[in-house]
Amino acid sequence: MQLATLPGGSAFRRFYKTTQLTDADRRWFADQGYEAGDNVLTRAMGVGVSGAGDKAVPSDVLGAVWHAAMTTTPVIAGATKLDAEHNGPLTVPTSDDDELGELMAENTQDSTQDVAISSVTLDLYRYTSKIVLASNELLKDATVSLERHLGELMGRRIGAIANTHLTTGDGTGKPRGIVTAATAGVTAAATTALTYSELVDLQASVADAYQERAVWMLNRSTLAVVKKLTDSNNQPVWTPTADGLGLILGNRFVLNAAMPYIGAGTSPALFGDLSCYGVRVLAEAQLDVFRQRYADFHQTGFRASMRLDGDIIDASGIRKLTMAAA
């Protein structure tokens, strides 16, 4: 079928031949869900939502981007998911309150006790996979879905950098990571060694209200150190379970490759309820396809992107262990 016979065929022809568009062309593309820029047509795809976007890029490609990004970001799995329906900053109330209520006698006046409420503002920082190039011949000749494979690759790239920032980001132009934001629970006596007593103290530093949902977070290297620790009766800190994952002092743990390693001044372990950390993720991945830009190399470029932010929303529920300073 010729472009001229398609709805908007003249607009497509002008784009693919010259990339020079009239105002009417841009309005037509906008009505179809496209953003027309220099040498590229961009179309945002909603994950798991049927609609016009599905016709431009197979939904399984965007699904692969989303799934790979989410499974590469362990902080998101346990965090509270916050509204991301609009693009502006989102103000979230936070508190750190351990006051008790009161038992009232008959015919007595209520007392007052203020709650210290503050807030954090979550933006939507844009993370991309960088542009990934694929030869047009390979795209046409591949017997399996190369696009889906590229979607997984791009999703892992996004997940890796997002997870780093959601773990240790400083909050300047990026999320404030869960380690950065967590309240200090225990300071280790040594710079490069953990003890059984320090893990017990970290576990006990989290209030009872959060203990039922509490887990450990650490990287695989720190887990190896913890597995070698024993208590005063020579019983191991880590105990195996039927599913093969194991427990640390009776609680589950989450492996996070972005957690700091054991070293002077680092915080290699967290304990607490991960839902006390909030993550704002725009529930839509975007895939940009660059056809004309690399046409002289007989290649097509792909770039995936997602927008998110994160910060602590309940400081009472997560504590960190920090190694001694050098």
The whole-number average pLDDT for the span 262-281 is: 96
Report which of residues 120 and 308 the model is more confident about: 308
Of the pLDDT bands very low, low, confident and very high (cuts 50, 70, 90), residue 194 is: very high
- Given this model, what pLDDT does residue 38 score? 46
- Given this model, what pLDDT does residue 59 score? 56
Is 88 inside a domain boundary? Answer: yes
The whole-number average pLDDT for the span 252-278 is: 97
pTM equals 0.77
pLDDT at 70 over 80: yes
Strands 215-218 and 269-272: what pairing?
Answer: antiparallel
Q: Give the SS3 label for residue 256.
A: coil
Query: How many Cα neighbours within 13 Å face the side chain of 40?
Result: 15
pLDDT digits (tens, 9 = 90+) for 173-186: 999 999 999 999 99
pLDDT digits (tens, 9 = 90+) for 208-251: 999 999 999 999 999 999 999 999 899 999 999 988 889 999 99
Residues shown for the chain: 326
For the beta carbon of residue 302, count every other beta carbon within 10 angstroms: 24
Strands 80-82 and 117-122: what pairing?
Answer: unpaired
Of the pLDDT bands very low, low, confident and very high (cuts 50, 70, 90), residue 99 is: low
Check if the beta carbon of residue 219 is closer than 8 Å to that of residue 254: no
pLDDT at 12 over 70: no
Check if the beta carbon of residue 136 is closer than 8 Å to that of residue 319: no
Mean pLDDT score of the chain: 82
Is 269 inside a domain boundary? Answer: no
pLDDT at 192 over 50: yes
Structural tokens at position 188: 């280790």
Report which of residues 13 and 67 the model is more confident about: 67
- Given this model, what pLDDT does residue 307 score? 92
Is 309 inside a domain boundary? Answer: yes
Q: Give the SS3 label for residue 70.
A: helix
Distance CA 291, CA 288 (A): 10
Of the pLDDT bands very low, low, confident and very high (cuts 50, 70, 90), residue 48 is: very low
Report which of residues 190 and 21 the model is more confident about: 190
Q: How many structural domains does the chain have? A: 1
Is 18 inside a domain boundary? Answer: no
Distance CA 107, CA 188 (A): 51
Is 109 inside a domain boundary? Answer: no
Compute CA 4 distance to the chain's CA centroid, rounded to the nearest angstrom: 44
Q: How much of the chain exceeds pLDDT 70, in percent?
A: 77
- 13-27, 89-103, 119-133, 147-161 — which is least confidently predicted? 13-27
Go through 251-280 and write b for each residue having 16 or more CB atoms within 10 A of its CB, e for each that does not.
eebbebebbbebeeebbbbbbbbbbbbbbb
- Given this model, what pLDDT does residue 96 score? 63
Is 134 inside a domain boundary? Answer: yes
Please report, for the domain that includes residue 157, its CATH number. 3.30.2400.10
Which structural domain, as residue segments, surrounds residue 292?
40-92+117-182+229-254+275-314
pLDDT at 8 over 80: no
pLDDT at 56 over 70: no
- The residues, ordered by sequence, that sit 6+ positions from 218 with a Cβ below 8 Å of its Cβ are 226, 253, 255, 256, 259, 268, 269, 270
Is 101 inside a domain boundary? Answer: no
Please state whether 290 falls in left (phi above 0), alpha (psi between -120 and 50) or beta. beta
Q: Which of 223, 274, 277 is nearest to 247 (CA)?
A: 223
Is 123 inside a domain boundary? Answer: yes
